[in-house]
Every structure is written in structure tokens, then in C-alpha cells.
Amino acid sequence: MPEASPPVSARLVTPSQPPPACRGRSQRLAAIYSLPCVQGRVGEGSRLFAGKLWLLCCLTLLFAIVLPAHAGIANAPGANLEISLITYGPGDTYWERFGHDAIELRDTVSGEAFNFNYGVFDFDESGFLLNFARGRMHYLMDAAPTTLDENWYIQAGRSVTRQRLALAPDQAAALRDFLLWNLRPENARYDYDYYVDNCTTRVRDALDRALGGVLKTQLTARPGGMTYRQQTARLMSAQPWLMLLLDVGLGPYADRPLNAWQESFLPGVLSRELATVQLVGAQGTHPLVTDTDLIAPNRLNTPPATAPDLRLPLAMAGLALAVVLLLARRLWPTGFSLLGSLYLVLAGLAGIGLLVLWLLTTHHAAWANANLLLFNPLALLLLPAAWRARRGLPATRFADIVLLVQLLALLAAVLLHLLPGTVQQNQPWLLFAMPVWLAMAMSLRGGRMNAPAG
């Protein structure tokens, strides 16, 4: 999930950088369209001030009609427009790990340049946090002067790369017209999705629209390098606990094989794939990207090229926890009760979270998660049995039934993973959960212990 863009006003906020000098979308729209921005408020009962403001508006309109329009990207002919993809490298904070990008429109005559991006969200939107939790996120398109946009990323130590694109004059003009249409307040909002409709896929789709579908045709025909899960783990590996939470929460949707078009939900991948696209023109075939400029190098830690393999670390963690549980059951029953209860609570809460993500949200990447067979609310029903073990008492018949159901669910998870055509790649969590659940079953059903209560 590519990050949100820099904030654009006190109301349209993202966590990436301070607000630019141009304080609102209306002012920046006016700047792009070369219209005057008149700020003011009529005080109560101030008819004289209202009259002066009305006169000022009339004079402004008269000057706009009489004086020649200021040349800029809004009215430049297509031959004068230079189109570039601007790619910003990953940042240090977790919401910056996926990078960001924008489409730059530059008028080669006047020198005016604006970056158009799709990464703005509004904290003041009614029910923002609830919508975010339910997966119903509303994002906005916005634009800012190129220098203003890029300087923040440079100061933050993030790489900035410009790829100039070989669009024909009519294609450049069509892209400009579409972006300006999309920038209007009534068109700027869209329903955000982490993987299929984010600030990078919107940039990708806008370029593909201007190129007549060439991008989608060529990128769909090429296989991608990683799945959604692998790219997420790779980019979030600098925050291990968050990476693990995301990994356990992702369902089979995140493990589907991707083509290059789908994998271009990431700014870095889109930049890489555009460099391979070929266009057919009157003079033959030529590359889409005419040249690439590294405006600013990366000064931060670079994400790894491949996703970390979690199987061995989680398998070792599961075995270690199982051994500790078995030893504590025999040597320190109170310690077993404490550690076993902690595991059961975490497993139960994880199961509740996975159920909520599946049944009550639109986070479709978390639906039908096979990890529910490993971590589910049934674990909470075993808490009394864990504390009975402190007194050396075996599990009750009810706890035996719950344990049996959990062990059958564990077996089902293993068999489901071994079936041909299985999509979800949750081997690390299987390797973690199997020894722990077996140790819990052996400990809770081990009969009355002779060891004294801790």
C-alpha cells in the first residue's frame, strides 16, 4: 500500500509532511487553471465591505477577460507538454515503506510544472476512523507544484526519480485534460484499496488511458515477480512485529500469482515496468521512457530485494515455546498456567480479529483466512483448564472436547495446505502452531501431576 501524499491543507491531511504554502485545494486549482484566488470573508452587517468585495470580483473578471491568459499547463498545446513519472523511494516510517509516485506535467515554454497524485485522505471526513477499520477508505486526488512536492522527499532523505515519457502531443494533451477533470472536487474522491485501487494504480491507469491501453496489454502478458504477501513482507521487514501481524492477517487473496500489471500496485515496480514498455509509432518502435534522472539519491535504509523466509524462524519459535510449556507443566505448574494462558488469550484474540476482518469488513485480502484453523476463539474456552493445571488437575470433559476440535482443526489446516491447488501460503504459521497446540494438549490432558502447586 503506497503511502499518502504530502498534506495539502489543514483539512486534507496525510502523515507525510507539513502543509505547503498554497493552503487549499481551491487555491492550487486556481493556480493550475491560471485563475485568481480571492480570499476573504464578509463580516456580519458589513455591507460596505461586501460592496467592495463585489467590485473587486467584477474588476478581477474584467482583467481576466481583457488580459491575455497566463501560459501554463492548463492551456499549453500538447506539443509543449512534457510528461514524467516521479517515483519517491520508501521512507523509514511504516506508512512510507511502500513508496509513492506522481505524474508530472511540465510546460516546456513557461517552465510551469505540477505533480498530480492520488494519495490524499481527509481526517475530518465523517466516520473516518470507522471507515478505515471497515476497509471503506476514501482517498482524493490532488496536485502541487513540482518543486514543493519533491523538496520534502529530498529533505527526508528519500530517493526521487524522474522518468520522461514519450507521449505524442495528442496523448499528452488528453492526459492533461483527464487529470484536470479528475482534479475537480466532484471527481477527486475515490474508494481506496491497498492492492488494486491505490495511489499507484491510479497513476498507472491514467497513463494507460492516455496511451490507448498499451500499458495494460504489455504488462498483463508478463508474469510478476512476487505476490501481494511477498511484497508486503519485503517492504515491512524493517518493522518485524507489524510484518508478522500483516502476514497472519492476509488470506489466500494475497498469494495469487500476479502479472506485471497487477504487481505495479507498487511505485518501484511501476517505475521498473514502464522502462520495458515499447511504443509503436510512425518511425517504428521506441521505448516509452526516453530518459531517467535520479533527482535525489536514497539516504535511508533500503528494503531487501526479496521477501524474508519466515518458515525457519517461526518453526523454531514454535518448538521453543512447546518445549518451555512441557517443562513448565512438569517443573513449575504456575509458570505453565501463566504462559499457557497468555498463548490461549493471544490465539483467541487473533481468531476474533481474523473473523472480524472476514465477516465485518471489506478488507478482501483478509477473507477466508486458513489461519483461523490455527488461531480461533475456541482457545479462550481452554483458559479454565490452563489454571486447573496449576493445581495438578486434568482437563474437564468439556475442555477435552474443545481440545479435540482444535486438534482436528489443526489437522484440517495441514491437509488443506497439502491439497493440490491450495493458494494460501501459511506454512510459517503452521510450523509455529503445530508444536504449540500439541504441547498444550499433552499438558492439559496429562492427568493429575504430583508436582506441588507453584
CA distances (Å), 198 to each of 213, 271, 281, in order?
19, 15, 31
Give me the pLDDT at residue 137, please: 86
Query: How far is 308 from 306, CA to CA, in rounded Å?
Result: 6
Confidence of residue 110 (pLDDT cuts 50, 70, 90): very high
Give me the pLDDT at residue 411, please: 96
DSSP states of 394-415 as a string? PPPHHHHHHHHHHHHHHHHHHH
Reading the block at residue 15, the C-alpha cell is 502523515
Query: How far is 93 from 90, CA to CA, in rounded Å?
Result: 9
Query: How far is 276 from 421, CA to CA, in rounded Å?
Result: 32
Report, as an integer, the average pLDDT of 114-126.
84
Report, as an integer, the average pLDDT of 197-213.
97
Query: How far is 273 from 293, CA to CA, in rounded Å?
Result: 16
Residue 8 has pLDDT above 90, yes or no: no
Give me the pLDDT at residue 377, please: 96
Per-residue pLDDT tens for 212-262?
999 999 999 999 999 999 999 999 999 999 999 999 999 999 999 999 999
Give me the pLDDT at residue 94, please: 85
Give me the pLDDT at residue 177, please: 97
Per-residue pLDDT tens for 254-280?
999 999 999 999 999 999 999 999 999
Long-range contacts of 336-339 (CB under 8 A, 24+ apart): 336/386, 336/389, 336/390, 336/443, 337/386, 337/387, 337/389, 337/390, 337/454
Query: How far is 179 from 209, CA to CA, in rounded Å?
Result: 11
Give me the pLDDT at residue 57, please: 42
Contact by Cβ (8 Å): 252, 368: yes
Confidence of residue 71 (pLDDT cuts 50, 70, 90): low
Q: Which of 207, 198, 202 is nearest to 232 (CA)?
A: 198
Contact by Cβ (8 Å): 106, 315: no
Q: Which ranges of 140-198 does DSSP label H, i.e. alpha helix?
A: 146-155, 169-183
Report, as an integer, the average pLDDT of 23-28.
48
Of residues 64 and 373, the one with the higher pLDDT is: 373
CA atoms lying within 13 Å on the CB side of residue 101: 29
Give me the pLDDT at residue 331, please: 92
Query: How far is 88 from 84, CA to CA, in rounded Å?
Result: 13
Give me the pLDDT at residue 7, please: 40
Confidence of residue 3 (pLDDT cuts 50, 70, 90): low
Residue 41 has pLDDT above 70, yes or no: no
Confidence of residue 61 (pLDDT cuts 50, 70, 90): very low
Confidence of residue 58 (pLDDT cuts 50, 70, 90): very low
Residue 452 has pLDDT above 60, yes or no: no
Of residues 24 and 78, the one with the higher pLDDT is: 78
Per-residue pLDDT tens for 296-346?
999 999 999 999 999 999 999 999 999 999 999 999 999 999 999 999 999
Report, as an integer, the average pLDDT of 190-197.
94
Give me the pLDDT at residue 14, please: 37
Residue 141, amino acid: M
In eight-state DSSP terms, residue 359 is H
Report, as an integer, the average pLDDT of 188-209.
96
- Length of the chain equals 454
Per-residue pLDDT tens for 365-388?
999 999 999 999 999 999 999 999
What share of the chain has pLDDT > 90, as a percent?
72
Q: Which ranges of 184-310 does DSSP label H, i.e. alpha helix?
A: 199-210, 214-220, 228-236, 240-249, 260-263, 267-274
Give me the pLDDT at residue 302, please: 92
Confidence of residue 283 (pLDDT cuts 50, 70, 90): confident
Give me the pLDDT at residue 432, please: 98
Q: Which of 220, 25, 199, 16 is nearest to 114 (CA)?
A: 25
Give me the pLDDT at residue 169, please: 96
Residue 54 has pLDDT above 80, yes or no: no
Reading the block at residue 363, the C-alpha cell is 478488507
Give me the pLDDT at residue 16, please: 37
Give me the pLDDT at residue 25, please: 52
